[in-house]
Structure 1
Amino acid sequence: MDNIDVRDYLLEKIQNCNCEEGLKLPSENKLAAKFSIPRKRIRDVYLDLEQMGMIESKQGIGHFVKPKRKLLDIVLTGDVSFSEKMKLQTKDYKSVLTRLEQIEMSKLEYPHIEFANCKTLYIIERLRFVDGEPAAIHRSYVNADLFPEIKKERSQLSSIYQFYKTHGIENFESSFTRLSTIFPGKYERMMLHCENLVPIILVESDNWNKDENVQLEYTEILYRSDRFSFQLTNTRKEKGCLC
């Protein structure tokens, strides 16, 4: 019997738990006897589940399933900003500007960034709070050649969608949306208050001014996977993903 068998047994209990109060899981001693393995291995399994954000441990009391909470819906394409989507689902939403930095495109250390006809970028990062907790990091790599005075407008940058609207841009288009799963690094764990093994959903896209056929930005959004559910679309070409 190995740790995976114990983890599978506990995962089944966790996945079948629909109670609002956290279900208390079997004690380490009880599981060690059930699976005929040392208690330390049971403790290691519980530590893994805690790092996955699935349980919480209370010293001297036991291990408990974290109560399930309603996931927030995200449509990956559309012309509605992330802020507007969240305000429709919760009254407790806040977006905080955490980074505003200008950088030459030639010095950018991210080869995956795809940008057409751009020499200088602004990296604009916002931390999104939902129900009082950090839930997503949104990075926009904005064409600085189009908005040379952007630093003077930092008060408007908590929603890049609203920022574009103040500049008369209303018609957006995206040429791709790419979704992948990563695990948080030190910075993401610190910003999102999540554990090592809580998967992060990374959504990448570009955003164009459709009327002018000019690329406005390249976008990365990092979502805590335990806070959101995602809806996909079959439409081949939709308006920009303004998350």
Structure 2
Amino acid sequence: MVQTELQHLKIAEYLINCINTGVYQEGDKIPSENELCSRFAAKRSVVRQAIARAANLGWLTSRQGKGSFVNKKPRPVSYSLSSQTRFSDNMDDQGIVHSCKLLNCMMRRSSETEKHYLQLENDPSVYELEILRFVNQCPISVTTTLLPAEKVPRLEQHLINFHSLYQVLSDFYHLMPRRSKSIFQAMLPDTRDAELLDIPENVPIIRIESFVNHLKNHPIEYSNSRIRGDMEKGLITF
């Protein structure tokens, strides 16, 4: 990129840094376009591009004829990832109010890849669940989980008043899930995930693909979690 193309990024970074350090606080109006043009010796189009970037990332809201104002930013949540990670335990340990919502539950035939992941041999059927999780009433993650149907028969009967998948697996099926592997990837959300997580489509998310066993070599779950990048701080323990 040439210098002129980088200028709007520098202005956006300046605004975000001012918000992070408390120079501009929630509800404050940031300097006008004219002020920013003068301060950075920049064209109005460049300043507008910078403000739009900060707004798209969730830091600002622009109001026609009034200017741009600082949004309330969610406080990042520390999420400890280990072989025995449980969302509810993680939040309880930190004293954070949390909840979850079961969006979908269906039984279907697995794909060849899913059969391989879950080592399905006799019965290729899986339960697919989609779970939306919240902290302090704010959506933080959406997870698609696959479970071998033969290991969790009549699962749908145990999902009334759902609040914890692993509690269901433990109470009704005597399964003790242990994470064996997780793959992380930073990416942008698709339209549906952005709507569920209440974020703009250009705010990054963290995708965690996890493989979970019961005992040592008995796959019980394959999951794909999409977590808001502006709300989660990962902690991996060894």
TM-score by length of 1: 0.82
Q: 2:97 aligns with which of 92, 97, 100?
A: 92
1:18–1:95 CA distance, 2 compared to 1 (3 A): farther
Task: Give 1:66's aligned residue.
Answer: 71
Q: Point out where structure 1 has 5 or more consecutive residues left out of the alignment.
A: 236-243
Matched, 1:225 2:220: no
User: For the Cα contact (< 8 Å) 2:152–2:173, is it kept in 1?
Assistant: no
For residues 56 and 89 of structure 1, the distance between their equivalents in structure 2, rounded to whole angstroms, comes to: 31
3-state secondary structure, aligned to 2:189: coil
Q: Point out where structure 2 has 5 or more consecutive residues left out of the alignment.
A: none
Task: Give 2:117's aligned residue.
Answer: 114
Query: Which sits farther off after the overlay, 82-91 or 26-35?
Result: 82-91
3-state secondary structure, aligned to 1:155: coil
Task: Give 2:51's aligned residue.
Answer: 46
Total equivalences in the alignment: 231
Matched, 1:26 2:14: no
User: For the Cα contact (< 8 Å) 1:171–1:210, is it kept in 2?
Assistant: yes
User: Alpha-carbon deviation of 1:82?
Assistant: 0.6
User: For the Cα contact (< 8 Å) 1:126–1:158, is it kept in 2?
Assistant: no
TM-score by length of 2: 0.84
User: Alpha-carbon deviation of 1:113?
Assistant: 7.9
3-state secondary structure, aligned to 1:114: helix
Q: 2:156 aligns with which of 151, 156, 159?
A: 151
- What one-letter code is carried by the residue in structure 2 that aligns with 1:207? V
Matches within 5 A, 1:153-168: 153-155=158-160, 157-168=162-173
Q: 1:202 aligns with which of 186, 197, 207?
A: 207
User: Alpha-carbon deviation of 1:210?
Assistant: 0.4
Task: Give 2:220's aligned residue.
Answer: 216
RMSD (Å), alpha carbons: 2.6
1:170–1:154 CA distance, 2 compared to 1 (3 A): closer
Task: Give 2:14's aligned residue.
Answer: 9
Q: Among all aligned residue pairs of Structure 1 and Structure 2, give the percentage whose two residues are the same amino acid.
A: 24
User: For the Cα contact (< 8 Å) 1:156–1:163, is it kept in 2?
Assistant: no
3-state secondary structure, aligned to 1:122: strand
Task: Give 2:180's aligned residue.
Answer: 175
User: For the Cα contact (< 8 Å) 1:113–1:218, is it kept in 2?
Assistant: no
